[in-house]
Amino acid sequence: MRRRYLWIVIGILIFSALFRIGVAHWLANDNPGDGLIYAQMARNLLEQHVFSHDAQAPYNPSLVRLPGYPIFLSGIYAIFGHTNNGAVRIVQALIDTATCGLIAILAFYWQPDEKKKWASAIGALALAAICPFTTIYAATILTEVPTNFLMMAMFLAATFALRNRASSENTAEEKRDSLKRAVRWWLAAGLIGGISVFFRPDNGLFVAAVGLTLALGWIWRSVASAAWRPFALPADAKKNLAQMLLCGTLFSIAFVLVLAPWTIRNWRLFHVFQPLAPAHAEMPGEFVPRGYQLWVRSWIDDDSFISPFLWALDTDPIKIADVPPYAYDSPEEKNRIAALLYKYNHPDAAPADPDNLTPKLVPAPQPSPSVSPEDKSTSAGARPSPSDADDEASGDSENEESDQGEPEK
């Protein structure tokens, strides 16, 4: 039976690898901007020997991204050639196949029924192998594939650590051996967790979840014990508490040790305490439009708005016509939004007065029939249309150029 199960597992893994290699080959995607940044950082590591996201000299040091994925890319580039993203995709396809294997092992160990362990493992492996939501990342130059692998590896190491828990029936020597194995696995889990955070900083939430599981496991065993009494722990509970604190401390120390070199580097170069990447991927002292981002997140409710309003910031124009009606509460607010977007889209032509950045979009009241056309143009309450404002700005610039004559050489 086990041999038959083993051949089934091998067949699913082969299918998983071929499926992911096919996706990586025929659905290759280099469009994500983050992928371009990671690739540039990897090239700078190999060619300029500096961790920088600059595409040209002087290649100033950077901290806008964590170093895990650029180092991963630079290792593949060093073997298969610089900017060889095809090799990166193949490697990621194989890593994602290994992730499916780790998922199957986790399902095997976490199934309490011995008779259903193999069935659970094969079922989990099959579901992971055909999952399109993780497979597609093998075709992109992004951090998801190695992140998923490291996350599953951390969970598996924590599982082995939890399984090496001595019981009251073990001898003293067996208890010591179990504790030694548990300590080694908790150290491994902490190291893997720290490395996974170097790929994606939000992996720290999974690291915290593992530590919380360690603590809750001890509380559950203590509460379930018949000898439990509040504020009067029995001897076994005290020993278990000491072991839990030891394992949790070593797990945390291993995790912190991985982040320590990066934190020290950022402190020495930039004089900031930055163990992870900045929340807005900004360099120290760089302006962050926090007000704009808070405003966008107050109404954004669809993925289609992410690209034109968040990813396009500082690179592409943002049009007031793309703003949905429920993003503002009144015509006055819409006018203000239009004014600010006009200033963003025309930084050089925008006037200094923030109250006269662009024309009002809400039409002004029509004048009485007694007002002549000449009076309309000079009316104090009239405002030009957006096209008139552009024509006026272009006309002013042409007049200025004609007045100035040829520039000095």
Burial 333-344 (b: 16+ CB within 10 A, else e): ebbbbbbbbbeb
Tell whether the model's pLDDT for residue 126 goes beyond 80: yes
pLDDT tens-digit profile of 335-357?
999 999 999 898 886 454 545 54
Domain ranges of the chain: 1-142, 150-275, 290-397
Sign of CA dihedral 218, 224, 229, 230: positive
pLDDT tens-digit profile of 208-256?
999 999 888 877 776 665 555 555 555 666 777 888 889 999 999 999 9
pTM more than 0.85:
no
Sign of CA dihedral 378, 384, 390, 391: negative
Tell whether the model's pLDDT for residue 364 goes beyond 70: no
pLDDT tens-digit profile of 176-197?
888 899 999 999 999 999 999 9
